[in-house]
Amino acid sequence: MFPFNKPYMTGKETVYIRQSVESGKISGDGIFTQKCHHFFEKKYGFKKCLLTTSCTDALEMAALLIDLKIDDEVIMPSYTFVSTSNAFVLRGAKIIFTDSEKQIPNIDADKIEELITEKTKAIVVVHYAGMACDMDKIMTIAKKHNLFVIEDAAQAIDSFYNGKPLGSIGHLAAFSFHETKNIISGEGGMLVINDDKFIKRAEIIREKGTNRSAFFRGEIDKYSWIDIGSSFLPSDIIAAFLFAQLENLENIQNRRKYIWNKYHQGLKKLEEKEIIKIPQIPNYATNNAHMFYLICNSIEERSALILHLKKNKITAIFHYLSLHKSPYYQKKHDKRELPNCDKFADCLLRLPFYYELKNEEIERIINKISEFYA
């Protein structure tokens, strides 16, 4: 059976984990945590990076940092993972869902401004499949209305918008290192802080609301509880695993892009015949090869294709369900129709995608999809 995902190990993960254990400090902010922070800040120019236990935690930190109040409004796409919304709902915010673009699952920037009210506090964008949202347009709207922009860059490592690394454009950004991502640590995430005014408080929130980080740097003689917060920092063992991956970022990315291009070339004929649609990369975006998906014409067609592939030992899966229609939030939603979100929820199908996927296996998957449509 071809799995949908298979975690890739570079070979150094256990070596670095052993080094972390032997260092005598395996709790948060050890030697490998610092190495990971330095890697991201140097390579992508992020002002401040803080590893977290998950992307969800990074988003929750972002919600705390912008001081959300009960009934503040946060605009975000409906076609996203529940964590994008949950982080802000936990602070009492009201989520204002907006539609995706017609051709790609990213938030439709042209539909944001009409949703802004005096209660709007932030815009959360999701770079779906690592493809950039229209950030110039979004940042212009945010500046005009004095709003925060938070990038959910869970899938967007090593991807760019007009030459700018994703995660470096909004006030805050959140990345994921879940085992399904390009670079992994099993579970894990990172908060990126691009606005200086958030840096000091982010360290405090991450350390249970204390100034413990400043204490360990020798800046103060004792640490105290001075703000709200939680335990958001991961063990240095997780960071050790992650650093082994980061050292191999270029190699991993090259292989994933090769696989993505093989899928694209192999399925392009079906798109040219208008049988399916395959990913479109906007001219302002790059492709980090996080996933390869196709878009069927109906939910019935997609279900039949999934079954066909399963019978041929290929695991293909759909993705998000529209959050505005979820059991938890549908009664809170303002009844607006979001047809593009619903289309992707019903018709988008993700294909097996992982570093060790062999060329002949990619060909077999392409052939079985073609066979279905023949």
Q: What is the pLDDT of residues 270-304, one digit of tens each?
A: 999 999 999 999 999 999 999 999 999 999 999 99
Residue 215 has pLDDT above 90, yes or no: no
| Cα gap 369→354, rounded to integer Å | 18
| Cα gap 175→168, rounded to integer Å | 11
Residue 219 has pLDDT above 90, yes or no: no
| Cα gap 130→171, rounded to integer Å | 18
Q: Tokens for 364?
A: 């077999």
| Cα gap 188→181, rounded to integer Å | 10
Q: What does the pLDDT look like over 319-372, one tens digit per residue?
A: 999 999 999 999 999 999 999 999 999 999 999 999 999 999 999 999 999 999
Residue-averaged pLDDT of the chain: 96
Residue 205 has pLDDT above 90, yes or no: yes
Q: Is the pTM of this model over 0.85?
A: yes
Are 329 and 83 within 8 A, CB to CB? Answer: no
| Cα gap 282→279, rounded to integer Å | 10
Residue 220 has pLDDT above 90, yes or no: no
| Cα gap 43→31, rounded to integer Å | 18
| Cα gap 320→289, rounded to integer Å | 19
Q: What domains are defined for the chain?
A: 13-246 (3.40.640.10), 249-373 (3.90.1150.10)
Work out the percent of the chain whose per-residue pLDDT is above 90: 95
Q: Which residue has the tokens 């995902």?
A: 5
Q: What does the pLDDT look like over 62-81, one tens digit per residue?
A: 999 999 999 999 999 999 99
Are 98 and 115 within 8 A, CB to CB? Answer: yes
Residues 6+ apart with CB under 8 A from 66: 121, 122, 148, 150, 171, 172
Residue 260 has pLDDT above 90, yes or no: yes
Res. 39 pLDDT band, cuts 50 70 90: very high
| Cα gap 355→203, rounded to integer Å | 34
Q: How much is the average pLDDT of 119-124?
A: 98
Question: How does DSSP classify residue 274?
Answer: T
Backbone φ/ψ region at 188: left (φ over 0), alpha (ψ -120 to 50), beta: left
Res. 129 pLDDT band, cuts 50 70 90: very high
Residue 1 has pLDDT above 90, yes or no: no
Q: What does the pLDDT look like over 19-32, one tens digit per residue?
A: 999 999 999 999 99
* b/e per residue 340-371 (b: at least 16 CB within 10 A): bbbbbbbbbbbbbbbbebeeeebeebbebbee
> 139 by DSSP, 3-state: which?
helix
Residues facing 348 on adjacent strands: 295
| Cα gap 123→320, rounded to integer Å | 20
Q: Tokens for 226?
A: 């001075």
Question: How does DSSP classify residue 231?
Answer: B
| Cα gap 120→94, rounded to integer Å | 9
Q: Which amino acid is at 239?
A: A
| Cα gap 87→122, rounded to integer Å | 13
Torsion of CA 18, 20, 26, 27, to 10 degrees: -140
Q: Tokens for 264?
A: 């694209």
